[in-house]
Chain A
Amino acid sequence: MDAGSMNSSSNFKSHSRGPLQEQFIQRKTSRENLDRFIPNRSAMDMGYAQSMLTESRKGKENPAISSPSRDAYQRKLAEALNMNRTRILAFKNKPPAPVDLYPKDFFSSQTQDKPSKPRRHIPQTSERTLDAPDLVDDYYLNLLDWGSANVLAIALGNTVYLWDASTGSTSELETFDDETGPVTSVSWAPDGRHIAIGLNNSEVQLWDSTANKQLRTLRGCHSSRVGSLAWNNNILTTGGMDGCIVNNDVRVRSHIVETYRGHEQEVCGLKWSASGQQLASGGNDNLLHIWDRSVASSQTTTQWLHRLEDHTAAVKALAWCPFQSNLLASGGGGGDRCIKFWNTHTGACLNSVDTGSQVCSLLWNKNERELLSSHGFTQNQLTLWKYPSMVKMGELNGHTSRVLYMAQSPDGCTVASAAGDETLRFWNVFGVPEVAKPAPKAQSEPFAHLNRIR
């Protein structure tokens, strides 16, 4: 192999320069003075010829030199040089030199930019762990949401609990009976006060969390359980096991405004874009649909804007990019394991990354260009990716079963994750809030964890 071949070849030269010259001198005096054309010195079998010539002579003239160790050395040399039976060839025509598409400073300025930004410390362990007994281990449900009033809602079996992140206090919102329950989805309205609860009996209930009071029940949208919910101002969109997606105007009596039919199986992922213009829906039929509000509802059912069939397993994890409109990230289930990026304007798949594991949920960092994904078997980890390079920035371990649900705090810094191991964990993965950043960050980076302890 190449191993130290340069080394040994330079050794070789210094060792053998003497004898080699000697030979040339001798040849002059000898009779067989042949004219030879030497085409290319570097490709010649100098080593081989040398060792062959000297070998025979040494045997006769200087038996002391031809010791076994010297023989071995010679053989090693010949081997290392790989010259004894090889010729090295290269094309006369060289491959075209790459063209510089950008001026050189473009590259250098980019590389210089990076170190100027201090690296954020990403804690690898959860900051806090709460028990979540009876959490339903069902991939198709959505049982965790963090509202704008900093209250976390989680459904455990038939009960919806509220955990106030500001005070750390827990309260029970409601326990449903076995006929209506278990709870199959929870979603906070944008005001952070009202919450929608999807139920196993196909009903959706609206609750006022501050008054602890039920406001209304939406019936007749679905024929089976409601596993996904998404708010768009006063519109509550519900996705059912029946494959239907229904837009409900919660203010009016006949609440069903629009129905989207496109999925053949359970709708398990549902997210409105930040602008409220486009809805992404993922189903157990491996389909991802993009619905556009401007596609008028002239007919009773609306046609999708895009039907994306690239995933090969259920599409549950959906996340709209906060810094680039029309960019959607979607994650596939156990048979797919890919995170895909879409331009929802054109329907083009921009990138696809095989994560090696079921993708249960996705969250974008609001402050940096990063994406967090939660996974199932085998690691049950949370993975933080740099976007768009999709370089892994960190893996957060701790859960011992698939991490089914994730929710982001209103300030965008903390992430709550609920897993099949019946725990709810909090991770400080997205850094410190933007407002608190400026002054202390630059200096105290190495001591950041100390600050956190006090």
Chain B
Amino acid sequence: MASSRTATKDIITLRGSAAIVSEFFGYSANSILYNRGVYPEESFVKVKKYGLPMLLTQDEGLKSFLATLTSQLSEWLESGKLQRVVLVIMSKATNEVLERWNFSIETDSEVVENGVSREKSDKEIMREIQAIMRQIASSITYLPCLDEPCVFDVLAYTDKDVQVPFTWMESDPKLIANPQMVKLHSFDTKIHKVNTLVSYKNDEWDEE
């Protein structure tokens, strides 16, 4: 038709954008859990993604947790009701929150309401995501050592009018008192814009 000059690849639909963003969450969660040593190194295998070697867990329990998570996120993303996803790393012993990986999402409401699509090349989006992935991998250089066994949880901030699915429950925000914060790169599918930020517990050593 008239739009033959633009490659079909560059057109992004709401559904496609939701898929990109939820997949991004899946990979970044894996990467964070690997790099921060929440799960043992040996339980991950290397795959190629975003032009980078990425690590994916082989732990069945964790795998299914992340799979259900991303499919739910993708559903919310498609309805434009997801505002933020937070991966919280807590001490296993005390449940104290040590790190919060904060992915805030801005949705183009016009796309959700009117079903229009946007244009952006896969390649460009991939490049933006790649930059974030690199930053996540390199974050170990400045984040404080997690020298105790840790667990994690994922929080989803949604619009008020969202039906709470049966498998979910309301939670407190699990904030960190007086955190240090580092903003990472963001990426934009032209429909969903994802800003990444990591906040972590202040290292007591600095004060002394």
* Interface of A toward B, CB cutoff 8 Å: 1-7, 9, 39-40, 42-43, 82, 85-101, 104, 107, 111
Contact = CB atoms under 8 A, between A and B. Distances in A.
B126 interface: no
What 3 A-B pairs have minimum CB-CB distances, sorted nearest first? A96-B61, A42-B172, A90-B171
B39 interface: yes
Given A39-B170, A43-B170, A98-B39, A89 B100 contact: no
A21 B168 CA distance: 32
A393 to B, nearest CB: 14
Contacts of A87: 157-160, 162, 164, 170
Nearest to A111: B147
B59 interface: yes
Nearest to A83: B173
Interface in B7-27: none
Nearest to A98: B39
A4 B156 CA distance: 20
Given A1-B102, A6-B177, A9-B175, A94 B151 contact: yes
A9 B173 CA distance: 12
B194 to A, nearest CB: 14
Interface string B50-94: 000000000101100110110000000000000110000000100
Contact of B172 (A4, A85, A88, A99): A88
Nearest to A81: B173
Interface in B131-190: 147, 149-160, 162, 164, 167-173, 175-179, 181
Given A42-B171, A43-B172, A98 B178 contact: no
29 contacts: A5-B173, A6-B175, A6-B179, A7-B177, A42-B171, A43-B172, A82-B157, A86-B83, A87-B157, A88-B156, A88-B157, A88-B172, A88-B173, A89-B157, A89-B169, A90-B168, A90-B170, A91-B153, A91-B167, A91-B168, A93-B167, A94-B151, A95-B153, A96-B59, A97-B92, A97-B151, A98-B150, A101-B40, A107-B147
Interface of B: 38-40, 42, 59, 61-62, 65-66, 68-69, 83-84, 92, 100, 102, 104, 147, 149-160, 162, 164, 167-173, 175-179, 181, 197, 199
A94 B153 contact: yes
Chain B CB within 10 A, most for which of A40, A42, A91: A91
Contacts of B156: 88-90
A4 B178 contact: yes
A6 B65 contact: no
Given A1-B181, A2-B100, A2-B102, A88 B151 contact: no
Nearest to A107: B147
Contacts of A39: 170
A202 B149 CA distance: 62
B62 to A, nearest CB: 6
A2 B199 contact: yes
Nearest to B159: A85
A91 B151 contact: no
B138 to A, nearest CB: 12
Contacts of A92: 167-169
Given A92-B168, A94-B153, A107-B147, 12 more contacts: A2-B197, A6-B175, A39-B170, A42-B171, A86-B157, A87-B159, A88-B170, A89-B158, A97-B151, A98-B39, A98-B149, A101-B42
A95 B87 CA distance: 12
Contacts of A6: 175-179
Contacts of B160: 85-87
Given A2-B102, A94-B153, A111-B147, A86 B159 contact: yes
Nearest to A86: B157
A214 to B, nearest CB: 51
Nearest to A41: B172
Nearest to A95: B65
A205 to B, nearest CB: 46
A439 B149 CA distance: 39
B100 A88 contact: no
Contacts of B178: 4, 6-7
